Structure 1
Amino acid sequence: MNEGAETELTPAEQETPIVEDAAADQDAPTDETAADADTASDDAVVDEDAAADEAVETPAEDPTSPAAIKRRLKGLPGRWYVLHTYAGYEKRVKQNLEIRMKSMNMEDYIFQVEVPMEEVFEVKRGERKLVNRVRMPGYALVRMEMEDEAWRTVQETQGVTGFVGNGRDPVPLTEPDVIKMLTPVVELEVAKELRAQGKSRPGSEPAVVTAEFEVGENVILTLEPWVGMPATIDAVDAANQRLTVLMTLVGQETPVDLSFSQVKKAD
């Protein structure tokens, strides 16, 4: 063979396709590719484990927590104000105002009325009964725009004695106060929902109250101007610590709504 002469391929070598070698090289995994695949697989397993741990470790948020209530109130129109009401008329004020805000076309200014309630076990004659009672006797909450006509609609509602604070220009509640006052409302909603499912919130057992008075019992009034006047109990609301007595005024038997503290047992 002469130097510099080109090497001639045999017929067999000429028939061997070069593409096969390229394909084989392409199909054969390199060490780097295999390592990348192993890393990706390991990352996927780690991600799955982390997601599983997060699903197990992240508890459901308590809907009665301040943060949850704050989010629930976020974006609602109007501000919250406190109303003075006649004692024992809180729920009636809520009903009256909800009717007036519709009949007076004030639904664009008065949005919501709440009377915070709580559940208690009332014990009467040895029997225990679950009842609702007013959490803040003599008060109600209203969410509204403080516009003149809206103010007048609320102020003139039967049972309302005025706004807390400056009556003509009342100051709205701060956000922390709103959350604090509305927490019982949310707690009662949650308690009822859980009870419907046969469940209960841990540590949320209602308080127990005992009826001090009974229907038909004779009592003595201790409030002005009727101090010392006798009366007979006609109805008892132990949960709210209130009762209705029948007393004689101007020769007629008249029902009067009082609190337990405004009467005493007759000797």
Structure 2
Amino acid sequence: MDEAKWYVVHTYSGYENKVKVDIEKTVVNRNLEDQILEVVVPLETVVEVKNGSKKSAQKKMFPGYVLINMVMNDDSWYVVRNTRGVTGFVGPGSKPVPLTPTEIKALGIALPGSENENKPVVKFDGKVGDQVMILTGAWEDTVGEITGINEGKQCLTINVEMFGRETPVEIGFTDVKLM
């Protein structure tokens, strides 16, 4: 028996969860649990900060795609390829190509056997030049102007007044509210 690998399957947009459920049902019905091990629709928790209030929601990381951990053979390929809503495997021509561990890590998905953590992503609705009030820490209740937004680190650079002059301070998205 070959080793199971992660493959990417393209689906019609909006059909990801239906494809996942249909494949899982077919696996049970055809007794293929040892060939198709797991079907995943990668989700990320997105936290939006609007006027100081936080709202979190689950969003698909890759709309139109499903990840499948499977042993590639004729039976497993046939089941996945002929599931309603599946348009094909990702790879050149009709040949499915498994994801490498490096690719899985780069995608930032927490899959079994990967070292990625599933951290929530925070979205901030402010822009450079907006005034914000700092809600926590040493700068609590201080008002400053946004001079930079770093989505990767999920923080802002804010100019605050200290000793009579403007000083840049880095602070997290969730530690401020727009004025």
Regarding TM over 0.5, the answer is yes
* Contact 2:49/2:122, CA 8 A, preserved across alignment: no
1:161 aligned counterpart, secondary structure? strand
Give yes or no for the alignment of 1:143 onto 2:73: no
Matched length: 120
- Pair 1:134-2:76 in alignment: no
Q: Distance in 2 between matches of 1:93 and 1:127?
A: 35
**Structure having the larger proportion of residues in helix:** 1
Distance across 1 between alignment mates of 2:108 and 2:71: 18
Counterparts in 2 of 1:180-259, with a 5 A limit? 180-181=106-107, 183-185=109-111, 186-188=116-118, 204=119, 206-208=121-123
CA distance in structure 1 between the partners assigned to 2:5 and 2:43 by the alignment: 21
Q: Which structure carries more relative contact order (alpha carbon 8 Å, separation 6+)?
A: 2
Cα separation, 2, equivalents of 1:205 and 1:105: 36
Q: 1:94 aligned to 6, 13, 20, which one?
A: 20
Shift of 1:113: 1.3
Structure 2 unpaired stretches of 5+: 126-179
Distance in 2 (CA, whole Å) between partners of 1:209 and 1:140 is 28
Does the CA-based 8 Å contact 1:83-1:163 persist in structure 2?
A: yes
Structure 2 contact 47–120 (Cα < 8 Å) conserved: no
Distance, in Å, in 1 between the alignment partners of 2:44 and 2:94 is: 31
1:1-267 residue pairs with structure 2 within 5 A? 77-122=3-48, 128-166=54-92, 168-181=94-107, 183-185=109-111, 186-188=116-118, 204=119, 206-208=121-123
The two structures have a TM-score, normalised by structure 1, of 0.39
1:110-161 superposed Cα distances (whole Å, 9 cap, x missing partner): 111112111113579x974211101111111111111111101001112211
| Structure 1 or 2: more strand by fraction | 2
- The unaligned stretches of length 5 or more in structure 1 are 1-75, 189-203, 211-267
| Aligned-partner Cα distance in 2 for 1:170–1:106 | 19
Q: TM-score, normalised by structure 2?
A: 0.56
CA distances 1:89-115 after superposition (whole Å, capped 9, x unpaired):
222222221121111211121111112
> In the alignment, is the contact (CA less than 8 A) between 1:114 and 1:141 conserved in 2?
yes
Deviations 1:13-59 (A, max 9, x none): xxxxxxxxxxxxxxxxxxxxxxxxxxxxxxxxxxxxxxxxxxxxxxx
Deviation of 1:209 after TM superposition, in Å, equals 7.1
